[in-house]
Structure 1
Amino acid sequence: MPGVKVKAGFAGMVIITGYLIISAIPNNKAHAATCPALPEVAWWQTTHDNIARHVDHHYGGEWDPYIAKWEGYRDKMQTIL
């Protein structure tokens, strides 16, 4: 029964693809567990997960340029203050 083999093969490919997609999604909660607590700022409502998604989206998952940006802000503020 050729039709059954094709359907079973397609179903197997869908299952494998789904598994690969799910396993490729980073577990931001696990990564965030190793981070220090975020500072409490009244107008800043973010989470570790939001920051990780931002870095993934805007920096291709590269944390060094993101951290360098914030270190630059810190240095400028220290100079001003």
Structure 2
Amino acid sequence: MSVTVRKNFVLDQEIANHLEELAKNNNQSMTALIQELIEERYHKLRVQQRKEVLKQMDGFGTGLLTDFSIQKVKASMDV
């Protein structure tokens, strides 16, 4: 079971109204809606971070086997 933590936020009245309306329309509590929205945003962030890491790794393997072919490898083996 996960530990819950209480957080207090100060919202503009208009944003608070939007939060209440969204929660009612989705038939969920404001807490559940906020959790869902945060998780969606966090997931997007993690995907972007992973893409950046992959982009940085692009080309790491380039040139490792450029002078090799399966034929050359077989020819050099003592069979």
Identify, as 1 or 2, the structure richer in helix.
1
Q: Which has the higher contact order (CA 8 A, sep 6+)?
A: 1
TM-score in terms of structure 1 length: 0.38
